[in-house]
Structure 1
Amino acid sequence: MAPFTPIVCIVDFHHARGPEVETWLGVEEGTDPATDNEWPLLPFMALSDGAHTSTEDFSYFTLRHEETDTHPATSLFGISCTRQLDANQLINRPPDVTRSTVQKAVVVISDSPQHFGAVKAKLGAVTGAWFAQRDFTDLEIMQRFQESLSTLLKNQEGEMDHYFGISLRELIHEFKWQTLVLFKCALLQPKMLFFGSHCERLCMMQFALISLIPGLIRHLQDSADPKFNSYEETLVQPTSLKTSERASLLAYMGLPLQLFGSGSLFGPYTPLQQLDMLADHGTKSYIVGSTNSLLLQQKDRYSDILINLDEHTIGITSPSLRSALALSTPDRRFIDFLTQTVNDTWDETNPGRPKDHGYAGSEEFIRMQFEEYLLAMLSAVKYKLYMEKNKENENFISDFEGDPSTEFSHEWVDAWMRTENFRVWNKFTDSHLFDIVDPKHPFSGGLTIDDVQRRLAQ
């Protein structure tokens, strides 16, 4: 299958007609991807509500790519850079520019968001240079940019996943123990709504969160439409395992957990015009972001949990979700340890790196902690299932005391076992995963005096 060549479009804010696609670059002459794929909302996704309040803003979104003779339907990913210019500065001012400012967005559409960090840096620079020309009829810089994209992405291949945007350090520094609540919440696949007036930050928070599930950023092909389910349809249970190879171990343990399969949606920036899709009966779960405060008035209708980035608050509207997300004592120990490590190494001038440049508190360190937590949880749940299956068997000898999955919170485990991602995971993994990874919470053990003091301090 030929890879999808990244394409570029320019979206203009027309004073009478609103946002509209002005030009496509990198597409066959006479074709319009927006018409072919039914993307009437593309201009609204590219020019986010509130983008006019800042000099530069970025928006990230997902699009459904209709099937062609050679390709099945799949998800595409957009990143747009919005800027504005005083209309009086234009060298060629078209007669229909009647407002005092011109606002445009340059959009890159690609088949995977995993190297958007590199794309964003270049997109920002190119958009800035194009605006500096003060002549929007001259598209040479844009054409060269579009032609260079395939090479840019090829050069990123084989690189470690470039997690772009908000560092996990910043996520933990801001949300502290609630970072684990958000992580466990995502696994339960409720309706998660992020709100914030700064679009780029809003999108980055969501990407940072889903990047905590190893490999998920590379497997988002179903995320643009709740009807998509190609990940499960093409999944094969791994039969071999090299424990010394991390990729082999993760695949054998059933990662990535697929949060965006059948009935689910991921829309880092979701314009108001897309709300019908969220309210649709077939949409059971999602992680989406909005910059429009109208949604806050309808939060009960559109969310089970609302993460307000402007006010640093998390509001859980569903009572059953609230009780499932109460952290266990080992959970609290785990996330308090991470929070403390980040705070101890915090550097105000460079939030993304520990001040001593050491490993503790680094991005890689945080990822590995969450990975270890997740693998232990998966193993403990398999052990729970194994015990339940053998409870009538008197010759059954347990290697572990009690049910180790309760250390991840009994209610949470019950809720997780009712999700779609659990169903897929359980169907395609070996029943004895607990022989590979110890089914024990990384911070297991009874309540200590430290736990009590920590609770009181908080």
Structure 2
Amino acid sequence: SDLIEKDADVSRSTVQKAVVVLASKPLFGLIRDRLCVVTNALFNQRDFRDTHILIDFATMLEGSIKTQLTESGIYMGTSVTLLIHKFRQRTLVLLKLLMIQRKIMFFGHPVERLCTYQYSLVSLIPNLLLALEDTASPNLDRRSKDTSKPTELRTSDRNSLMRYLGLPLNDSFFQPYLPLQQVDMLKTQSCPPSFLGTTNSIVTQQRDSLPDVLINIETNTFEFKDPKVERLVTLTPADRKWMDDIVRDVNDGWNDSDPSRPLTMEFKGSDDYLRAKFEDYVCSALASVKYADYLIATGKTDLGAVGTNENCVENFGEAWMAAFRQTNAYTVWNQQTDPALFDICEPRHPCESKPTVISDIGLRLAEGLHELKVAETVAPAREAISNAISVGSTGLFRAFEGVRSEVAA
């Protein structure tokens, strides 16, 4: 060992130690770079008995972070663009799973990327990243006990608007890096809905505690325990069209050599832009739930959205919306929000143009080719599909025959 001074417990040539910061807020981005510098300095001292650098760091860190506990500060260290570039349209599948409180587990290495994906997904639900105090343990659920409704609404104040809309939705156990000591808890009937992350394959092999869906970030695969759950979160044509536009926005500025530096510095395609898009989706979905509840309560059968001819429930997914109503998150949210919430937020799907049957088939084929990782080998056929969408069904099916022959070759 290169240590200048060795304690009695140092009996090996290699010493493993870690510097840990316990924080009440998810300040990973704010802390990471500073912690890296301090950790390197501590090890370079080659004397672990000298902890003055850690004491000074703790004093400095607490003072500096207090001034940065803002929404933008909390989002440091997350990357929605990275999340969408990785999972593409399935990013919305993950969000829908989170909203209907299914047990989700992320698995893979490295651990930093594992946690980044999870925190980035959580950030898609408005204000949820700012309200994780109750999610560290099932025993810390305090929000569900508060059933009071907001007594005022200031539409110019975003926080006031979010409270009026009942956001954030929050009633799950969140553990981005699950220790083995908590695995047994997952096997109990009282285990709440959970969003977990692990790098240990032992956790994923516990057959009696498997999550509803296991996401392997190394192979980019989704493994559903129950096909019924997979059907609940299947994207609707409106979902696919909406996500296709978002994926295109991300890819237009994606920089393979340095994902943290997009090719363009425009607002469109940025993390703030993407969060705003998903905030619109979540708020519109919640307004559609309230609108559908109102029509049912008043005995009406017309589920057309206000001012439009589209069926807002169908566009979000009737089965998914029914599953959301069965969650405890819905029960709490419904008690805390006004029945006429849809007067503030329009009950409509954010997809700007209604997709046609032909265009939806084209989107599904194109996404399927990407998931099969044959985009390069069938690039001409993929282009033929895009061209055929504007021609009609006959042209599309001819293009599909070309795809089949390309894959077979």
Same fold (TM over 0.5): yes
Residue type of the alignment partner of 1:333: K
Q: Are residue 134 (structure 1) and residue 43 (structure 2) matched?
A: no
Number of the residue aligned with 1:411: 319
Number of the residue aligned with 2:291: 383
Q: CA deviation at 1:235?
A: 5.3
Q: Select the residue among 152, 159, 162 that pairs with 2:64.
A: 152
C-alpha distance after superposition, 1:318-362 (max 9, x if no partner): 222111011000000111111111111111233134311001110
Q: Where do 5+ consecutive residues of structure 1 fail to align?
A: 1-87
Q: Are residue 92 (structure 1) and residue 5 (structure 2) matched?
A: yes
Distance 2:141 2:9 in 1: 45
Q: CA deviation at 1:437?
A: 1.4
Q: Are residue 322 (structure 1) and residue 230 (structure 2) matched?
A: yes
Distance 1:256 1:436 in 2: 17
Number of the residue aligned with 2:406: none
Three-state SS of the structure 2 residue aligned to 1:314 is strand
Number of the residue aligned with 1:451: 360
Residue type of the alignment partner of 2:359: D
Q: Are residue 359 (structure 1) and residue 272 (structure 2) matched?
A: no
Three-state SS of the structure 2 residue aligned to 1:101 is coil
Number of the residue aligned with 1:121: 33
**Residues 144 and 171 of structure 2 are in contact (CA less than 8 Å); yes or no, is this contact kept in structure 1?**
no
Three-state SS of the structure 1 residue aligned to 2:104 is strand
Number of the residue aligned with 2:83: 171
Q: CA deviation at 1:400?
A: 5.2
Distance 2:298 2:310 in 1: 14
Query: For the structure 1 residues 208 and 398, does the alpha-carbon distance in structure 2 shift closer, same or farther, using more than 3 Å as the test?
Result: closer
Three-state SS of the structure 2 residue aligned to 1:306 is strand
Q: CA deviation at 1:154?
A: 1.2
**Residues 382 and 433 of structure 1 are in contact (CA less than 8 Å); yes or no, is this contact kept in structure 2?**
yes
**Residues 240 and 363 of structure 2 are in contact (CA less than 8 Å); yes or no, is this contact kept in structure 1?**
no
Q: CA deviation at 1:193?
A: 1.0
Q: CA deviation at 1:312?
A: 1.2
Number of the residue aligned with 2:153: 241
Number of the residue aligned with 2:388: none
Query: For the structure 1 residues 208 and 239, does the alpha-carbon distance in structure 2 shift closer, same or farther, using more than 3 Å as the test?
Result: same
Q: Are residue 257 (structure 1) and residue 169 (structure 2) matched?
A: yes
Distance 1:190 1:141 in 2: 43
Distance 2:300 2:74 in 1: 49
**Residues 405 and 413 of structure 1 are in contact (CA less than 8 Å); yes or no, is this contact kept in structure 2?**
yes
Q: CA deviation at 1:95?
A: 3.6
Number of the residue aligned with 1:192: 104
Number of the residue aligned with 1:143: 55
| Worse-matched range after superposition: 270-279 or 153-162 | 153-162
* Runs of 4+ with >6 A deviation: none
Q: CA deviation at 1:163?
A: 1.2
Q: Where do 5+ consecutive residues of structure 2 fail to align?
A: 368-409
**Residues 107 and 198 of structure 2 are in contact (CA less than 8 Å); yes or no, is this contact kept in structure 1?**
yes
Number of the residue aligned with 1:302: 210
Q: Are residue 107 (structure 1) and residue 20 (structure 2) matched?
A: yes
Q: CA deviation at 1:298?
A: 2.5
Distance 2:71 2:320 in 1: 36
C-alpha distance after superposition, 1:227-254 (max 9, x if no partner): 2221222453112222233222222111
Three-state SS of the structure 1 residue aligned to 2:276 is helix
Query: For the structure 1 residues 209 and 299, does the alpha-carbon distance in structure 2 shift closer, same or farther, using more than 3 Å as the test?
Result: farther
Number of the residue aligned with 2:239: 331
Three-state SS of the structure 2 residue aligned to 1:102 is coil
Task: Give the number of aligned pairs.
Answer: 365
Q: CA deviation at 1:287?
A: 0.6
- Supply the RMSD in Å over aligned alpha carbons: 2.2
Residue type of the alignment partner of 1:190: R
C-alpha distance after superposition, 1:131-150 (max 9, x if no partner): 01111011110111112222
**Residues 287 and 347 of structure 2 are in contact (CA less than 8 Å); yes or no, is this contact kept in structure 1?**
yes
Distance 2:255 2:54 in 1: 37
Q: Are residue 201 (structure 1) and residue 113 (structure 2) matched?
A: yes
Query: For the structure 1 residues 393 and 281, does the alpha-carbon distance in structure 2 shift closer, same or farther, using more than 3 Å as the test?
Result: closer
**Residues 300 and 317 of structure 1 are in contact (CA less than 8 Å); yes or no, is this contact kept in structure 2?**
no
Query: For the structure 1 residues 160 and 456, does the alpha-carbon distance in structure 2 shift closer, same or farther, using more than 3 Å as the test?
Result: closer
| Worse-matched range after superposition: 228-237 or 416-425 | 228-237
Query: For the structure 1 residues 393 and 345, does the alpha-carbon distance in structure 2 shift closer, same or farther, using more than 3 Å as the test?
Result: closer
Name the structure with the higher strand share: 1
Three-state SS of the structure 2 residue aligned to 1:414 is helix
Q: CA deviation at 1:161?
A: 3.9
Distance 1:447 1:117 in 2: 42
Three-state SS of the structure 2 residue aligned to 1:259 is coil
**Residues 28 and 77 of structure 2 are in contact (CA less than 8 Å); yes or no, is this contact kept in structure 1?**
no
**Residues 406 and 413 of structure 1 are in contact (CA less than 8 Å); yes or no, is this contact kept in structure 2?**
no
Three-state SS of the structure 1 residue aligned to 2:20 is strand
**Residues 79 and 120 of structure 2 are in contact (CA less than 8 Å); yes or no, is this contact kept in structure 1?**
yes
Identity %: 40
Three-state SS of the structure 1 residue aligned to 2:293 is helix
Query: For the structure 1 residues 159 and 289, does the alpha-carbon distance in structure 2 shift closer, same or farther, using more than 3 Å as the test?
Result: closer
Residue type of the alignment partner of 1:416: F
